[in-house]
Structure 1
Amino acid sequence: MINVAYILAASHSGSTLLAMLLGSHPQACTVGELKLNGSAMGELARYRCSCGVPVLTCSFWQKVQAQMEARGHEFRLDDAGTDYRDVRSAYARRLLRPLCRGRALEAVRDLGLWLSPVWRRALPKIHRRNADLMESIMQITGSRVIIDSSKNGLRLKYLLRNPGLGVKVIHLVRDGRGVSLTYMDPAGYADAADAGLRSGGNGGDRAWERLPIAQAAREWRRNNEEAENVLKTLPSSQYVRLRYEDLCAEPLAICERLFRFLALPPSDAPRQFREFEHHVIGNGMRLDVGSTVALDERWRRRLSPAELDVFQDVAGPTARRYGYTT
């Protein structure tokens, strides 16, 4: 059984930071988002691994490719075949587009998907590719637990059904006002500090990703609603909920709590998490330097009173439920 720690979260909630902190444990590993969305990588020849070199020349990823080929898979980072939504059926892709919406609607989705021969053939193959990729990475790193920071609730639903995996879930929540500010300008608030390293080394201002405040607040609310819908299907022993703000306030104490949850021995490795070798795909902060964990509350200065009012109208009840009242 492959032991997986899945970080479930809205985008821009600190999942890459958490994955790197946990992945610094000597018995854990992470490469970030194992769904490996090739479209988010831009020009692959320029995309940098968190070790600093282009992913195409990174010796770690070359070893992963060799391991996958030995297991009978063709493997490319920009076409990894691990995303459950990436099936060659327009009908199935339409059914896989909505977020998870509770048991009854998920039963309808499952029935609709089962009517697709393409989906029935694809699902076991995607299960196997995910398990084989995880096992390959764990063998290369000598790890007992792999952290997947893909965040997506629908992906978690299918990982939980993957017979080769034992999955524990960390639901990471960040103040929706901070998340919304980041959605409004991803390059400015959620990417590498060095502008030349943004978009994985491709550069650019990511202007096409920017959302207005109402849509940003809606995304945060909907993604956390999806997370709760998936968690309702699990026993309480299989997941924990963590606030980004608490992680930043006490990173070592929070990591110790999470290590216990994952049945890992104590370790102070997160204290200097950037000094360890990481090969992470995802958020640009993976390319920054320094191991200081600092709370980012720039939303308090950057969001206008009018924008804060819009956020409260769209997502206020959800924010208050998570304790964000001031």
Structure 2
Amino acid sequence: MARVLFLGGLGRSGTTLVERLLGELPGVCALGEVVHLWQRDLRDDERCGCGAKFSTCGFWRRVGALAFNGWHNVDVDRVHYLRAAVERTRHIPRLATAVEAPEEVHEYAEYYSRIYSAAHEVSGARIVVDSSKHSALAHVLRWSNDIDLRVVHVVRDARGVAYSWTKSVARPETDGAEHMTRYSPGRSALLWNAHNAAFGLLARRGVAVRRIRYEEFVSDPKMALAGIAEFAGVDLGASDLDFLYDGYADLKVGHSAAGNPMRFTVGRLTLRRDDAWVRSLPPRQRRLVGAVCAPMLRAYGYPLNTEVPSR
């Protein structure tokens, strides 16, 4: 049975940073956002985190051969159909309350379990990390008998997430021709509530879930990684966190299938808390997001009053 550490939360919450640092730990293999592999990699042949096209990356070629006897045997249209049928936020209540999941849920989960199992074998790692984030996918995966699922729920202040979604970020995989999705602050606030609540529901269904706050993770990454490693069942040695320095991490090449541009970073990665939203998110939008997300912000320990003092 493949042990999978699933990183969940709304996008722009810091999951890629958490994944990159986890990927440096012994016995851990970070796969990126596997949920996007079917389209971005199998169909569009975008670049792996190592820089090579997916079709030419040796790691992913071996995974595909072991999981499906070659990626050409994957019916991508079928995967897309199954995703639409079972892996949407609106399906979560049904997935969470069902006594038994429909056959399509098991079929969809099997595509992922095959990849996880093959990645385990190819990498030799004890644990694989999937940073797909999607709460509905986590609810699907919990039904698989072939996956030992553990979830790290990454939370960031909703106002910081909202500000990040307003920024225009080019996708390196497309040489700048495409940009990452953008949401209005109101839209991101609603999504923040929905996705984070879904992970709370997942925990109540018996899945092992550990919640971490992005702000605390960045402030003390060594302590945060040690806690996640213990949760995942990774035994750390005295030198296993030596890639972390004062204010930065030294990263090796990874094989992230999809994710934000940070997945291409090799070498020094600055570690600093991004609080630009405090002064850059317009007060009206800050108050809107704060009001919409107030109950959960309070539950997660975030202050509701973040007005910028006048100078």
CA distance in 1 between partners of 2:65 and 2:85 (Å): 34
1:298 aligns with 2:276: yes
- Asked if structure 1 preserves the Cα contact closer than 8 Å seen for 2:42 and 2:54, the reply is no
1:162 aligns with one of 134, 144, 166: 144
CA distance in 1 between partners of 2:221 and 2:42 (Å): 32
Cα distance per residue 1:70-126 (max 9 Å; x no partner): 3898248xx397x6xx336xxx94665334655x78437x78x74xxxxx2x44433
- Cα shift at 1:200: 2.3
- Asked if structure 1 preserves the Cα contact closer than 8 Å seen for 2:151 and 2:209, the reply is yes
Cα distance per residue 1:236-292 (max 9 Å; x no partner): xx2211000111001111111111111111121552765323101211111234233
Cα distance per residue 1:19-68 (max 9 Å; x no partner): 111121120101111223544569824x2211122222222222222222
1:27 aligns with 2:21: no
Match of 1:136 in 2: 118
- 1:149 aligned counterpart, secondary structure: strand
2:166 aligns with one of 180, 184, 196: 184
Equivalent positions of 1:32-43 (< 5 A) are 32-39=32-39
- Asked if structure 1 preserves the Cα contact closer than 8 Å seen for 2:32 and 2:131, the reply is yes
Match of 1:255 in 2: 225
- Asked if structure 2 preserves the Cα contact closer than 8 Å seen for 1:184 and 1:216, the reply is no
Cα distance per residue 1:175-217 (max 9 Å; x no partner): 1111111222251xxxxxxx5xx2524413627x322221121
1:148 aligns with one of 105, 113, 130: 130
CA distance in 1 between partners of 2:2 and 2:165 (Å): 34
Structure 1 residues 7 and 72 mapped into 2: Cα distance closer, same or farther (>3 Å)?
closer
Match of 1:288 in 2: 265
Match of 1:279 in 2: 255
CA distance in 1 between partners of 2:203 and 2:141 (Å): 13
**TM-score if structure 2 supplies the norm length?**
0.84
CA distance in 1 between partners of 2:277 and 2:252 (Å): 31
- 1:279 aligned counterpart, secondary structure: coil
User: Structure 1 regions of 5+ residues with no counterpart?
Assistant: 115-119, 188-194
CA distance in 2 between partners of 1:105 and 1:135 (Å): 23
Match of 2:309 in 1: none
Structure 1 residues 211 and 70 mapped into 2: Cα distance closer, same or farther (>3 Å)?
closer
Match of 2:61 in 1: 62
Q: Which stretch shifts more, 268-277 or 220-229?
A: 268-277
1:318 aligns with 2:300: no
**TM-score if structure 1 supplies the norm length?**
0.80
User: Structure 2 regions of 5+ residues with no counterpart?
Assistant: 307-311
CA distance in 2 between partners of 1:128 and 1:205 (Å): 31
- 1:291 aligned counterpart, secondary structure: strand
- Cα shift at 1:130: 1.7
- 1:87 aligned counterpart, secondary structure: helix
CA distance in 2 between partners of 1:268 and 1:70 (Å): 36
Structure 1 residues 274 and 70 mapped into 2: Cα distance closer, same or farther (>3 Å)?
farther
1:107 aligns with 2:77: no
- 2:131 aligned counterpart, secondary structure: strand
Structure 1 residues 71 and 165 mapped into 2: Cα distance closer, same or farther (>3 Å)?
farther
1:97 aligns with 2:67: no
CA distance in 1 between partners of 2:241 and 2:106 (Å): 39
CA distance in 2 between partners of 1:80 and 1:255 (Å): 38
Instruction: Write 1 or 2 for the structure with the bigger share of helix.
Output: 1
Tell me how large the CA RMSD over aligned residues is.
Answer: 2.9
Match of 1:200 in 2: 173
Match of 1:225 in 2: 197
Cα distance per residue 1:297-324 (max 9 Å; x no partner): 1111210111111112221222122111
Structure 1 residues 163 and 210 mapped into 2: Cα distance closer, same or farther (>3 Å)?
same
Match of 1:117 in 2: none
- 1:25 aligned counterpart, secondary structure: coil
Q: Which stretch shifts more, 178-187 or 253-262?
A: 178-187
- Cα shift at 1:157: 1.4
CA distance in 1 between partners of 2:107 and 2:90 (Å): 22
Q: Which stretch shifts more, 65-74 or 148-157?
A: 65-74
